[in-house]
Structure 1
Amino acid sequence: KDGNPFNTTILPSPPAALPPFIAWAPSPLHGSPRGRPADGPSSSLVLPQWSKGRVFWTNKRVIVIAAAGIITLIVLGVVLLLVLRCFRGNKDSNKHGANAYNSSGKKLNQVQKSSSRPAYQTEKVDKATVTRPMDGYGLESGDTGISPNLQDEQLLDANTRPASSRHQKNHEINKGEVNGPGRSSRGRDSCSLDVTAFTIASLQQYTNSFAEENFIGEGMLGGVYRAELPDGKLLAIKKLDTRASRWKTDAEFLQLISTISKLRHPNIVELVGYCNEHGQRLLVYQYCRNGTLYDALHIDDEMHKKLSWNARVRVALGVARAIQYLHEACQPPIMHKNIKSVNILLDDKLAVRVSECGLAPLLSSGSTSEFSGSLFVSYGYAAPEIEFGSYTCQSDVYSLGVVMLELLTGRESFDRSRPLGEQFLVRWAIQQLHDIDALVRMVDITLNGVYPVKSLSRFADIISRCVQSEPGFRPPISEIVQDLLHMI
């Protein structure tokens, strides 16, 4: 009873014997394990001992090699980082040594140079060769009488705050050896500028620490103070508002001083000196006792009576000549950008001195950029194109026309107290300039009719051409000068 009685199948003949390493492979058809026959007994075939050792050492070797590779990479990375760090350290130390050597050499050279040159040569600005006219001197006054309702916020606080809050610094007075006390020892570099460099301490002394009683007025660029030198000479100190001057570096400010100091014309204020210390920037001009054209026309009754018709024509001619010098004699041309009656000064003989020439870069920068906007237009002096950010030499011509209208009528360029249709002088007068009857009614009543009607008509014609709304229709300044000359 051998065999399985339930197995009725016919067994196939056994395959031919295979080599040992092939016989160990599993059958692809039945998936039987190595060494086990497909239908044979369940007993497994035991592998040789040397084959087990071969499989074991192969896996171990792979693990060891991988671990060794990782460790080697880590070691190489650490070594590379150490080498790079050492190299950078040596390089930085070499640079530090070289810089220290160079800086010490530079300091030594600076000490040697400073010991071999005068102590006052600290700031230098190139000076251009200019011809000084015999009567060319400058005058300055503050901007007074402007309606406070029209002033910008940067103008309002100057008249309300005490002088002690305007300037609190007290410094020891630094007396120079040239031209008496007032020049700073470092200020002798003004010889390159042809103006004096004052110290804050000396200006404090001359203005009694910028006391309220010496406060003249406030302009768009800052306050103006009266200063008296020990010899009794009077000066006008324009203390620039830091909100305007802070946009200029020291080099740019000195370049501006250089430009202004080169302006030489009988009808232009001449700069006497400047100060640039402790964050304060000031311009020093000669003082004018008769004040501004605005004062003479609208405030001072005595001066108003002195302004005869011929005197007014001469004032207009003086302003026109100053503008002509800026536009045609200066290279590149200089646009004033702030022609108005408060910037026109009168000396003892009622000769004109135009102030703030060359200061347009300060008016066009920083917080005073409102100059080219509604603030300036509200005063009534600005050409229409300024509202759109355009300013040319013809814009100065327009402002001159407004000043001439003030001379003709005795009215302010903008007067809020008048009826709405008469508040802006140009708008009110432009339609009446060619009507002789209306023109006579427009004339300042303080003239008492003492003027040639023909001269009045010519004056009005010049005004009409100056205040044209289109810049191209306005005459060149040289033509205006010639027309005014023919009236004298």
Structure 2
Amino acid sequence: MGCFPCFQKKDQVAQSSEEKPKPAPSSEPKKQNSGNVKKDNSKENSNRGSEHIAAQTFTFRELATATGNFRADCLVGEGGFGRVYKGKLESINQVVAIKQLDRNGLQGNREFLVEVLMLSLLHHPNLVNLIGYCADGDQRLLVYEYMPLGSLEDHLHDLGSDRRRLDWNTRMKIAAGAAKGLEYLHDKANPPVIYRDLKCSNILLGEGFHPKLSDFGLAKLGPVGDKTHVSTRVMGTYGYCAPEYAMTGQLTLKSDVYSFGVVLLEIITGRKAIDNSRSGPEHNLVAWARPLFKDRRKFPQMADPMLQGQYPSRALYQALAVAAMCVQEQPSMRPLIADVVTALSYLASQNYNPNNRTFQNSSHSPRTKRDSENKRRI
């Protein structure tokens, strides 16, 4: 599959040439509308588009001041798009994250405008909040709410000495929250939105490990009416792209479900979607997991060693069953994201206590499950 752009780089591939969604007409303000994304026939350029955007505009000078002229000690992240800085905007008295797009990077004007439009029109507790943007000259910057705990990737794969391992309860909470954000895009937005770049580094964490989807530069309006898919240039990140999308460029909501399945596997196993330090089938997480899915006795082998055995066996089986369904090769065999939300919300509601191996349901009285009971079939 190396001939497809999706599989050429670890991070996002070259700038998209596809059509972006247009902003809503100014006669129909969308700031309070959390579900409708509409298009008009305005010319495709950032100046015309910005007339209809509800997010605040900032000057480059304001953002430079907020970050101490983009000092190195304010840098909190870096990727193919450019760099992210932590800053303090005095005009609104708020700590923010400022993403400065690399003028020679992989994310161009189209992706910049798509992200501003999407996050101006779509609002949900599990989507990152866009505060504003800057389009001074050739400078392109996005201003978000600051997410103090960084990304899910930071807590799974880049675990520093200042970070503790994620326990089982927190992992299920993050998985359920990310699924709810995706459900909003698929089922509540009108027309539906295909996220197209779901991965651990794009799931940001707030206080209490509350997850929010971020980085909507590759988002695409989904099929409507009798259409089953949208055809587009293949974009995404190696290891997360659905196989049918990588092969044909036909994008569906089930493409996102596949990507979510990969993320869920990462959450459960602690392994990377693509791990260059491993060889053979272990290099690709899905390729490694598929044979193990066929034998429930091997499920404990798939649990992250960092959990140190502190997880409920039955919930592990159920979570792996959900992941296995999401990464089915045939899109029609994958579940709807709403069904994934139902399953993971249940698992997240079961508060597991590793000290006495008990569960406490958030809406029911405490009850104990012994290991033998946890091994019953799903």
Match of 2:215 in 1: 356
Q: Distance in 2 between matches of 1:211 and 1:270?
A: 24
Is the contact made by 1:263 and 1:270 (CA closer than 8 Å) also made in structure 2? Answer: no
Match of 1:372 among 234, 237, 251: 234
Q: Distance in 1 between matches of 2:29 and 2:161?
A: 42
Match of 1:296 in 2: 155
Match of 2:99 in 1: 238
The yes-or-no answer on 1:400 pairing with 2:260 is: yes
- Which whole-Å deviations, capped at 9, do the CAs of 1:204-254 have from their partners, x for residues lacking one? 111222233322222333322222234873211112344556554xxx966
Q: Distance in 2 between matches of 1:303 and 1:310?
A: 20
Match of 1:338 in 2: 197
- Code of the residue aligned with 1:269 in structure 2: it is V
Shift of 1:200: 0.6
Shift of 1:409: 0.7
Q: Distance in 2 between matches of 1:427 and 1:280?
A: 41
TM-score by length of 1: 0.56
Is the contact made by 1:274 and 1:282 (CA closer than 8 Å) also made in structure 2? Answer: yes
Shift of 1:412: 0.9
For the pair shown, the structure with the greater C-alpha radius of gyration is: 1
Match of 2:66 in 1: 206
Match of 2:144 among 282, 285, 292: 285
5+ long unaligned stretches in structure 1? 1-122, 134-188, 363-369
Match of 1:130 in 2: 32
Cα distance 1:245–1:426, how it changes in 2: closer, same or farther (>3 A)?
Answer: closer
Higher relative contact order (CA 8 A, sep 6+): 2
Match of 1:474 in 2: 334
Shift of 1:129: 5.4
1:412-431 to structure 2, matched below 5 A, reads 412-431=272-291
Q: Secondary structure at the match of 1:438?
A: helix
The yes-or-no answer on 1:325 pairing with 2:227 is: no
Is the contact made by 1:126 and 1:258 (CA closer than 8 Å) also made in structure 2? Answer: no
- Which whole-Å deviations, capped at 9, do the CAs of 1:367-397 have from their partners, x for residues lacking one? xxx9826x723xx111112322222111110
Match of 1:275 among 104, 109, 134: 134
Shift of 1:326: 0.4
Cα distance 1:334–1:220, how it changes in 2: closer, same or farther (>3 A)?
Answer: farther
User: Greater strand percent: which structure?
Assistant: 2
What is the alpha-carbon root mean square deviation over aligned residues? 3.1
Match of 2:166 in 1: 307
Cα distance 1:124–1:461, how it changes in 2: closer, same or farther (>3 A)?
Answer: same
Moved over 6 A (4+): 189-192
Shift of 1:324: 0.5
Shift of 1:327: 0.7
User: Greater helix percent: which structure?
Assistant: 1
Q: Distance in 2 between matches of 1:200 and 1:452?
A: 50
Is the contact made by 2:262 and 2:286 (CA closer than 8 Å) also made in structure 1? Answer: yes
- Which whole-Å deviations, capped at 9, do the CAs of 1:316-339 have from their partners, x for residues lacking one? 111110000001111111111100
Q: Distance in 1 between matches of 2:181 and 2:284?
A: 25
5+ long unaligned stretches in structure 2? 1-24, 36-48, 222-231, 350-378
Shift of 1:485: 2.2
Q: Distance in 1 between matches of 2:168 and 2:57?
A: 41
Is the contact made by 2:165 and 2:306 (CA closer than 8 Å) also made in structure 1? Answer: no
Q: Distance in 1 between matches of 2:244 and 2:81?
A: 22
Shift of 1:292: 0.5
Shift of 1:464: 0.6
TM-score by length of 2: 0.71
Match of 1:104 in 2: none
Shift of 1:346: 0.9
- Which whole-Å deviations, capped at 9, do the CAs of 1:430-471 have from their partners, x for residues lacking one? 111242331102211121212111111111110110001111
Q: Distance in 1 between matches of 2:325 and 2:307?
A: 24
Cα distance 1:434–1:130, how it changes in 2: closer, same or farther (>3 A)?
Answer: farther
- Code of the residue aligned with 2:234 in structure 1: it is S
Is the contact made by 1:297 and 1:304 (CA closer than 8 Å) also made in structure 2? Answer: no
Q: Distance in 1 between matches of 2:160 and 2:107?
A: 36
- Code of the residue aligned with 1:486 in structure 2: it is Y
Is the contact made by 1:237 and 1:283 (CA closer than 8 Å) also made in structure 2? Answer: yes
Match of 1:89 in 2: none
Match of 2:120 in 1: 261
Q: Distance in 2 between matches of 1:212 and 1:262?
A: 33
Q: Distance in 1 between matches of 2:316 and 2:107?
A: 43
Cα distance 1:255–1:477, how it changes in 2: closer, same or farther (>3 A)?
Answer: closer
